[in-house]
Amino acid sequence: MKSKLMLILVLLPVIATQANALTPDELNQITFEQKIGQQISTDLRFRDSGGTLVRLEECLDSKPTLLVLGYFHCPMLCTFINNGLIDAMQELRLSVGRDFNVIDLSIDPHETSMLAGTKKTEYVKLYGRHGAERGWFFLTGDAPAIQRIARETGFHFAYDPQTNEFAHPSGVIVLTPEGKISRYLFGANFSGNDLRDAIVVAGRNENGSLIQRLALICYHYNPITGKYGSLVMAIVRVSGVATVVTVVGFIAVMVGRDRRARRGVSFEHRERTARRAVPTND
């Protein structure tokens, strides 16, 4: 609870700054548009942390892959996302580089491979498992390639020239070995169980279930304004009302049973008292 409060306090100045710099209409566009089953362009080329041109297909390496879109000089949110992902990955028996891969792809076309290399060293060390560096890619690229990946994954973001920062949604895109979108994981804190299930399902070249897809459609959370969309709020309200009705109904049933039980006990008591009061003939 304390860590969440600290996170909110840290983010408040950034949120306020971005809210002043970007219009409400621009902020409303900063969302994940769910595109489960979408094939991303695995032939696109980016530069890895060593400056070498690589195709996305090479980074997938026939493994399920976690794709994280952000940027390396991001002051806070991207760090929280990667730290949350590392915490979840450390709970798994599955390991980066052996069972699945991770791609951190910068949405800032001006970022360099050197900066990507610095971030890779930092995060791989924090993860702490042998061989992770072989399956964890930190990529930079030009604007057209970045825009294409963002469009294919439904990642809507906006650049703020006043602060030289990007406003963007938070989460992880889970890809199949073929490069199709299998699932989305939202936020900056991830469940180890959810992450494991997502990796296993993607490894079988399967997509999220119908229920999971419905949840994704309903989940419209704006990380900048800190508000949920009208659909999910309506569902939350209906669920809340249904819960209250259920609880009230349960209480009414239990109270009714208790009253009937008391009436039964009272009736038996009166019957016994009446029998004692009737005179007997000797």
Tell me, what's the pLDDT at 222? 44
Determine the Cα–Cα distance for residues 138 and 119; give it in Å rounded to an integer: 8
Mean pLDDT for 117-130 is 97
| Overall average pLDDT of the 139-151 stretch | 97
88 band by pLDDT with thresholds 50, 70 and 90: very high
Give the pLDDT of residue 281. 54
pLDDT of residue 266: 60
One DSSP character per residue, 38-49 reads PBP-TT-EEE-T
Counting Cα atoms < 13 Å in the Cβ hemisphere of 47 gives: 19
For residue 48, what pLDDT is reported? 97
Lowest mean pLDDT among 110-124, 192-206, 215-229: 215-229
* Residue 246: pLDDT band with limits 50, 70, 90: low
**What is the pLDDT of the chain when averaged over all its residues?**
80
Query: Which tops the pLDDT comparison, 216 or 27?
Result: 27
CATH 3.40.30.10 describes domain 10-228: yes
Q: What's the pLDDT score for residue 16? A: 42
pLDDT score recorded for residue 2: 42
Q: Is the pTM of this model over 0.75?
A: no
Q: What is the mean pLDDT of residues 255-273?
A: 62
Residue 11 in this model has a pLDDT that exceeds 50: no
Residues 74-99, mean pLDDT to the nearest whole number:
94
Q: Where are the domains of the chain?
A: 10-228, 229-274
Query: Other C-beta atoms within 10 Å of 56: how many?
Result: 24
